[in-house]
């Protein structure tokens, strides 16, 4: 086995190239003027003023400062900039006067889901909120115009609203002057919202409103919440999922400095799977270090439970057996079995990807304060109303008496969407009593309590006709189903189509397709990942498509173009990739380019990776060209950053990351055993937009992750003739002669 | 035991075990939470600070070892985010989630103090231990070059 030292070829990157194909200048007048668009505590009012609320999303202060409320959580994907842009596009507000704050989840719950959508996931921030956010902006603008029209006795259509100023002839007034009157206006009819082609703000690059807080250390993350009288909790859960806490010896640590108590974490009543906590123990002290040190010194006895025999090797063998058998049918076009018999040639590919964890840079945390009349909870929530509901349920409170306050999130990727850590913190705070408790996970707990990516295996078979074109695709999939784990009865006939995302819903024109799936679960907890299903299945599917092309004597990129002739958006993306990437297959041995494409969360993304591999197997990922069709863009720089982010995430997972399960427990725990990509290994990424426009608004946070890994795998094959199928790339021997 | 530490030009006296990592003293005892925890084993760089001008991983530095030295954290790098690294970071909108960025910025500032015109190889070597799960590396590289230019008088 060659140990790979993966490096970036340093001569490629120059200052000019380092911004990729999208070196976007951001207009601003200098750092002193670059005031943040929100408070360091982003759940607080964005300004110190008493403003006038025009509707639930928009508040105008007497000085014209306009606060736009954001229902989604800022985890790096840019919602604190993109979401207010959707409102501002219609409001015709002076962007320099815009501030943002989180929408209040308690008010949302109290007022019948006032903010419509307050969870963040499925790359849906823009896609699923755009219409009502544009509407909020347009409705407020028309009320402002109407208020001025009445005051000036002119028809509303003669009042112009621009940059927070209303004018009609020589009459002039500011939004601030008319905000109170606007809030009382009743319109006979709500205005229509702008469509693609009518935008002036959307599609432009604006400076991120949160950057100033992120370059001086003031942005408050969940880890950073500070409350008067607050104490700190360190936690450890049973190393084997499904195990139990038998006992712990608090006497051994109670004399240590600052120690307040040690508490058993045990199930209380029936808890839904998603938010069920593992059994464990918490130590609480006046500082985190004292709590953690004492926890590590405290003797704890576990009953490891029934699953101590589970290990990765045995589980992989179970999947290998499963894909030999026919499974629950997830897709059935034509008559695949009959067509396969007529094939001139068949190609088969086996692929596997293991369990993985999200590894947000910020480990999980949550702070809870319980008082007689209310409960407050702070953290990096992807679903703040969900956090509120879990706390209310766990503590037996009314939801209206619980307030969840969302911090900045140090990465999310799905990890912070279920609120199991919230229940854990609420349980500790319940036992501690009347002091606020901040619970922090160590890196090791963060990885070992991982509720990340499921393990998955595919056995794919393609029948080709005499011309080498695919005529029959038979795919068998086996893997861990989060849905079945959460609720076995919700998964009918053993079929969880979501686990087969990326294979089952392939878009290639192949007359016959049969996809079957098997569910094989272990004791590992699984939940939303970055592009669930697609993330691992595209590694299987898009590497296999290369195998199919080469077996049929075709160029892999050209075959993808030929098999998607009926899909204009795919044609645009693939042809743009062909043009921009300089994709070629006649490079000298040791160099290679590989392509992959996927459609998920409303966006089509194709990539071309360029690698070099030394004779002894050292891999250098040199370059990625990315072509994205998300229909319309809110703001190009943030979109391009999400493309880079998705690539780093995808190739990090492919190169380094499989959580090993041994004796039922996760082995890896920290960056020494579970690495992330480093700056020295970062390829140059050029992003190209090929937008279909129209009514399409594709997601940005997730869809770049799935195609990144198979493009890399295909490039490695082009360079070396070696196909990495069922191990992480770092364990594959890529040497060649 | 009482330790007196000089952080960002100010003296703090704290009552901690001397072996307490500087990271937690900064965060929990001094309230300077801009310095982040990512790993606790000197493998991620989130906790990067300067001690006597040199890069230090505060999670792996005992508080007692910082006594008598000058500690600088992100909060003390500059007033009003005017350090060239912060200016460049702002111009290029480098941060995504932002959690690693205090450490990235502190590491980059130390690199520039040592090498005012760093090559890509210098950046690779000096920033190797500053991980970013959001994948902002391309922006970081560009911003370090930009910061070098700003520090050298470019507009
Ligand atoms: S927290 Fe210190 S290097 Fe990771
Ligand atoms: S910006 Fe999120 S980890 Fe670096």
Query: Does the pLDDT at position A31 exceed 80?
Result: no
Phi, psi of B12 (to 5 degrees): -120, 135
Point out the domain boundary residue: A158, A184, A214: A214
Check if A650 has its Cβ closer than 6 Å to any atom of ligand 2.
no
Phi, psi of A341 (to 5 degrees): -65, -25
Query: Does the pLDDT at position A616 exceed 80?
Result: yes
Nearest chain A alpha carbon to B138: A18
* Same structural domain, A628 and A647: yes
Ligand 2 atom index nearest CA of B95: 1
Strand duo A402-406 + A375-379: pairing: parallel
pLDDT at residue A34 in the model? 59
Query: Does the pLDDT at position A109 exceed 70?
Result: yes
Check if B137 has its Cβ closer than 6 Å to any atom of ligand 2.
no
Strand duo A171-174 + A259-265: pairing: unpaired
Q: Between the CA of residue A127 and those of A506, A630, A644, what are the distances in Å?
A: 22, 10, 20
- If you count them, how many residues does chain A have? 737
pLDDT at residue A256 in the model? 98
Structure tokens at A161: 């609203």
Chain B CB contacts of A443 below 8 Å: 38-41, 44
Q: How far apart are CA A62 and CA A96, in angstroms?
A: 15
Average pLDDT of span A173-192: 97
pLDDT, tens digit (0-9, with 9 covering 90-100), for A662-697: 999 999 999 999 999 999 999 999 999 999 999 999
Could you tell me the pLDDT band of residue A16, with boundaries at 50, 70 and 90?
A: very low
**Angular region, A44: left φ>0, alpha ψ -120 to 50, beta rest:** beta
Query: Does the pLDDT at position A323 exceed 60?
Result: yes
Domain boundaries defined on chain B: 2-74, 84-151
Point out the domain boundary residue: A214, A240, A275: A214
Strand duo A259-265 + A328-333: pairing: unpaired
- A76, A216, A700, best to mutate vs chain B, most B CBs in 10 Å: A216
Contact status, residue A572 vs residue A690, Cβ threshold 8 Å? yes
Structure tokens at A174: 């500011």
Q: Is residue A447 part of a domain?
A: no
* Same structural domain, A510 and A537: yes
CB contact under 8 A, B142 and A685: no
Residues with Cβ within 8 Å of residue A556, at least 6 apart in sequence = A545, A546, A549, A550, A585, A594, A595, A714
* Same structural domain, A408 and A523: no
Q: Does A603 touch chain B (CB under 8 A)?
A: no
Average pLDDT, chain A: 94
DSSP-based three-state secondary structure for A342:
coil
* Same structural domain, A521 and A617: yes
Q: Which of residues 6-25 of B touch A (CB under 8 A)?
A: 16-17, 20-21, 24
Q: How far apart are CA A623 and CA A581, in angstroms?
A: 10
Q: In what order do the strands lie in the sheet with A165-168?
A: A160-162, A165-168, A171-174
Q: Does A456 touch chain B (CB under 8 A)?
A: no
Query: Does the pLDDT at position A8 exceed 70?
Result: no
Could you tell me the pLDDT band of residue A272, with boundaries at 50, 70 and 90?
A: confident
Query: Does the pLDDT at position A621 exceed 90?
Result: yes
Q: Between the CA of residue A113 and those of A69, A109, A132, A209, what are the distances in Å?
A: 14, 5, 13, 26
Average pLDDT of span A191-220: 97
Nearest chain B alpha carbon to A32: B80
**How large is the C-alpha radius of gyration of chain A?**
27
Q: How far apart are CA B21 and CA A285, in angstroms?
A: 16
Query: Does the pLDDT at position A20 exceed 80?
Result: no
Contact status, residue A617 vs residue A734, Cβ threshold 8 Å? yes
How many beta carbons lie within 10 A of that of residue B85, not counting itself? 30
Residues with Cβ within 8 Å of residue A263, at least 6 apart in sequence = A281, A282, A283, A284, A427, A428, A431, A432
Contact status, residue A100 vs residue A47, Cβ threshold 8 Å? no
Contact status, residue A608 vs residue A621, Cβ threshold 8 Å? no
Query: Does the pLDDT at position A7 exceed 60?
Result: no
Q: The domain containing residue A124 runs over which residues? A: 2-214
Contact status, residue B97 vs residue A76, Cβ threshold 8 Å? yes
pLDDT, tens digit (0-9, with 9 covering 90-100), for A36-51: 999 999 999 999 888 9
DSSP-based three-state secondary structure for B112:
helix
Q: How far apart are CA A408 and CA A223, in angstroms?
A: 10
Structure tokens at A696: 């399409």
* Same structural domain, A697 and A580: yes
Q: Is residue A614 part of a domain?
A: yes
* CA dihedral of residues A175, A178, A180, A182 (deg, nearest 10): -90
Q: Please report the beta strands in A490-590, taking only residues with DSSP state E, as ranges in sequence order.
A: 512-519
Check if B98 has its Cβ closer than 6 Å to any atom of ligand 2.
yes
Q: Looking at the 3D structure of chain A, how many domains does it have? A: 3
Q: What is the ipTM of this complex?
A: 0.98
Average pLDDT of span A534-545: 97
Please give the full DSSP string across A577-590, using - where no structure is assigned: HHHHH---S-PPTT
Query: Does the pLDDT at position A492 exceed 90?
Result: no
Q: Which of A239, A245, A356, A240 minimizes the C-alpha distance to A307?
A: A240
Contact status, residue A6 vs residue A648, Cβ threshold 8 Å? no
pLDDT at residue A14 in the model? 27
Ligand 1 atom index nearest CA of B45: 3
* Same structural domain, A481 and A523: yes
Residues with Cβ within 8 Å of residue A295, at least 6 apart in sequence = A234, A235, A236, A253, A262, A281, A282, A283
Contact status, residue A244 vs residue B4, Cβ threshold 8 Å? no
* Same structural domain, A71 and A17: yes
Q: Between the CA of residue A673 and those of A193, A524, A657, B54, what are the distances in Å?
A: 52, 19, 10, 27
Question: What's the whole-model pTM score?
Answer: 0.95
Cα–ligand 1 centroid distance for B33 (angstroms): 14
Q: How far apart are CA A594 and CA A582, in angstroms?
A: 11
Q: Does A660 touch chain B (CB under 8 A)?
A: no
Check if B42 has its Cβ closer than 6 Å to any atom of ligand 1.
yes
Point out the domain boundary residue: A414, A440, A466: A440
Q: How far apart are CA B97 and CA A380, in angstroms?
A: 11
pLDDT at residue A489 in the model? 83
Query: Does the pLDDT at position A571 exceed 90?
Result: yes
Q: Is residue A446 part of a domain?
A: no
Q: Does B37 touch chain A (CB under 8 A)?
A: yes
Check if B93 has its Cβ closer than 6 Å to any atom of ligand 2.
no
Query: Does the pLDDT at position B155 exceed 80?
Result: no
Q: Which of A46-55, A338-347, A365-374, A709-718 has the lowest mean pLDDT?
A: A46-55
Across the interface, which of B20, B98, B138 has its CB nearest the CB of A682? B138
In degrees, rounded to 5, the angle at the alpha carbon of residue A615 between the alpha carbons of residues A612 and A616 is 110
DSSP-based three-state secondary structure for A170:
coil
Across the interface, which of A31, A212, A685 has its CB nearest the CB of B138? A685
pLDDT, tens digit (0-9, with 9 covering 90-100), for A652-670: 999 999 999 999 999 999 9
pLDDT, tens digit (0-9, with 9 covering 90-100), for B66-101: 999 999 999 999 999 999 999 999 999 999 999 999
Q: How far apart are CA A475 and CA A483, in angstroms?
A: 21
* Same structural domain, A486 and A337: yes
Q: Where are the alpha helices (DSSP H) in chain B?
A: 22-24, 84-91, 101-114, 120-126, 137-151
* Same structural domain, A349 and A477: yes
Query: Does the pLDDT at position A169 exceed 60?
Result: yes
Q: How far apart are CA A671 and CA A668, in angstroms?
A: 9
Average pLDDT of span A555-582: 98
* Same structural domain, A574 and A428: no
CATH dotted code for B84-151: 1.10.150.120
Average pLDDT of span A81-93: 98
Question: B2-74, superfamily in CATH?
Answer: Beta-grasp domain (3.10.20.30)
Q: Which of A501, A494, A504 minimizes the C-alpha distance to A529?
A: A501
Query: Does the pLDDT at position A565 exceed 70?
Result: yes
Q: What is the DSSP letter of B103?
A: H
Helices B101-114, B137-151: inter-axial angle, 10-degree rounding: 40
Structure tokens at B115: 């090498």
Q: Which of A1-10, A230-239, A679-688 has the lowest mean pLDDT?
A: A1-10
Average pLDDT, chain B: 97
CATH number of domain containing A533: 3.30.365.10
Q: Does B108 touch chain A (CB under 8 A)?
A: no
Query: Does the pLDDT at position A67 exceed 90?
Result: yes
- If you count them, how many residues does chain B have? 155
* Same structural domain, A291 and A318: no
* Same structural domain, A581 and A645: yes
Chain A CB contacts of B86 below 8 Å: 31, 215-216
Q: How far apart are CA B7 and CA A274, in angstroms?
A: 43
Q: Which of A346, A350, A343, A342 minimizes the C-alpha distance to A324?
A: A350
Q: How far apart are CA B44 and CA A359, in angstroms?
A: 12
pLDDT at residue A267 in the model? 83
Query: Does the pLDDT at position A24 exceed 90?
Result: no
Q: What is the DSSP letter of A240?
A: B
pLDDT at residue A693 in the model? 92
């Amino acid at each position: 086995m060659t140990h790979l030292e993966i490096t970036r070829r340093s001569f490629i990157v120059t200052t000019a190239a380092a911004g990729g194909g999208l070196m976007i200048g951001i207009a601003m007048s200098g750092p002193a003027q670059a005031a943040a668009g929100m408070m360091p505590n982003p759940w607080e009012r964005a300004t110190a003023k008493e403003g006038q609320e025009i509707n639930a999303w928009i508040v105008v202060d007497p000085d014209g400062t306009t606060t736009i409320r954001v229902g989604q959580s800022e985890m790096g994907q840019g919602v604190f900039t993109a979401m207010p842009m959707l409102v501002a596009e219609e409001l015709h507000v002076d962007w320099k006067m815009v501030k943002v704050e989180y929408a209040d989840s308690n008010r949302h719950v109290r007022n019948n889901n006032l903010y419509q959508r307050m969870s963040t996931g499925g790359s849906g921030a823009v896609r699923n909120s755009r219409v009502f956010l544009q509407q909020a902006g347009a409705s407020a603008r028309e009320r402002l115009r109407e208020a001025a029209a009445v005051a000036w006795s002119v028809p509303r259509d003669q009042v112009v609203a621009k940059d927070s100023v209303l004018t009609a002839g020589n009459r002039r007034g500011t939004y601030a002057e008319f905000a109170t009157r606007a809030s009382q206006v009743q319109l006979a009819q709500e205005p229509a919202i702008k469509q693609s082609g009518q935008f002036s703000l959307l599609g432009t690059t604006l400076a991120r409103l949160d950057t100033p807080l992120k370059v001086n250390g003031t942005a408050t993350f969940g880890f950073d919440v500070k409350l008067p009288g607050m104490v700190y909790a360190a936690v450890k859960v049973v190393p084997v999922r499904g195990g139990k806490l038998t006992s712990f010896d608090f006497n051994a640590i109670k004399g240590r400095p600052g120690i307040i108590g040690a508490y058993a974490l045990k199930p209380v009543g029936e808890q839904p799977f998603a938010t069920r906590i593992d059994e464990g123990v918490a130590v609480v002290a006046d500082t985190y270090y004292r709590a953690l040190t004492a926890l590590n010194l405290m003797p704890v006895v576990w009953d490891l439970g029934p699953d101590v025999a589970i290990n990765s090797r045995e589980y992989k063998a179970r999947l290998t057996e499963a894909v030999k058998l026919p499974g629950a049918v997830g897709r059935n076009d034509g008559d695949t079995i009959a067509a396969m018999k007529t094939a001139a040639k068949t190609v088969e590919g086996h692929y596997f990807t293991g369990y993985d964890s999200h590894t947000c840079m910020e480990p999980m945390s949550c702070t809870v304060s319980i008082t007689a009349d209310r409960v407050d909870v702070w953290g990096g929530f992807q679903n703040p109303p969900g956090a509120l509901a879990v706390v209310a349920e766990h503590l037996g409170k009314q939801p209206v008496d619980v307030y969840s306050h969302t911090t900045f999130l140090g990465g999310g990727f799905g990890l912070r969407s279920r609120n199991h850590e919230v229940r854990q913190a609420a349980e500790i705070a319940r036992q501690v009593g009347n002091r606020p408790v901040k619970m922090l996970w160590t890196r090791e707990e963060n990885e070992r309590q991982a509720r990340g990516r499921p393990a998955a295996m595919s056995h794919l078979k393609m029948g080709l006709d005499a011309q080498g074109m695919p005529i029959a695709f038979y795919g068998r999939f086996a893997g861990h189903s989060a849905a079945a784990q959460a609720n076995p009865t919700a998964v009918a006939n053993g079929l969880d189509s979501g686990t087969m995302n990326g294979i089952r819903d392939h878009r290639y024109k192949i007359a016959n397709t049969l996809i079957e799936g098997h569910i094989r679960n272990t004791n590992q907890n699984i939940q939303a990942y970055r592009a669930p299903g697609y993330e691992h299945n595209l590694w299987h599917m898009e590497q296999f498509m290369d195998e199919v092309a080469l077996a049929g004597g075709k160029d892999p990129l050209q075959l993808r173009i030929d098999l998607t002739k009926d899909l204009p958006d795919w044609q645009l993306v693939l042809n743009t990739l062909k043009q921009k990437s300089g994709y070629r297959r006649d490079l000298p041995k040791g160099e290679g380019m590989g392509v992959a494409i996927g459609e998920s969360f409303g966006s089509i993304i194709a990539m071309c990776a360029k690698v070099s591999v030394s004779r002894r197997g050292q891999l250098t990922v040199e370059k990625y060209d990315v072509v994205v069709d998300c229909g319309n863009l809110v703001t190009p720089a943030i979109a391009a950053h999400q493309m880079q982010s998705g690539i780093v995430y995808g190739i990090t997972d492919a190169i380094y990351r499989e959580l090993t399960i041994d004796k039922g427990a996760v082995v890896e725990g920290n960056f020494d055993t579970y690495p992330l990509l480093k700056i020295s290994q970062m390829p140059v990424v050029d992003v190209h937009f090929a937008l279909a426009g129209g009514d399409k608004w594709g997601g940005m946070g997730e869809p770049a992750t799935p195609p990144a890994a198979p493009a890399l795998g295909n490039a490695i094959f082009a360079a070396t003739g070696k196909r990495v199928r069922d191990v992480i790339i770092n364990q594959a021997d890529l040497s060649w002669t | 035991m009482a330790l007196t530490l000089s952080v960002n030009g100010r003296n703090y006296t704290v009552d901690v075990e001397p072996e307490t990592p500087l990271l937690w003293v900064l965060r929990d005892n001094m309230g300077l939470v801009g310095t982040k925890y990512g790993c606790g084993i000197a493998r991620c760089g989130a906790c990067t600070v300067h001690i006597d001008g040199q890069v230090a991983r505060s999670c792996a530095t005992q508080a007692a070892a910082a006594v008598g030295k000058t500690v600088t954290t992100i909060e003390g790098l500059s007033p009003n985010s005017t350090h060239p690294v912060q200016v460049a970071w702002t111009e290029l909108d480098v941060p995504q989630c932002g959690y690693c960025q205090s450490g990235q910025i502190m590491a980059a500032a130390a690199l520039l103090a040592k090498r005012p015109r760093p090559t890509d190889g210098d950046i690779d070597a000096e920033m190797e231990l500053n991980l970013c799960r959001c994948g902002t590396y391309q922006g970081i590289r560009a911003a370090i070059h930009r910061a070098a230019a700003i520090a050298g008088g470019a507009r």
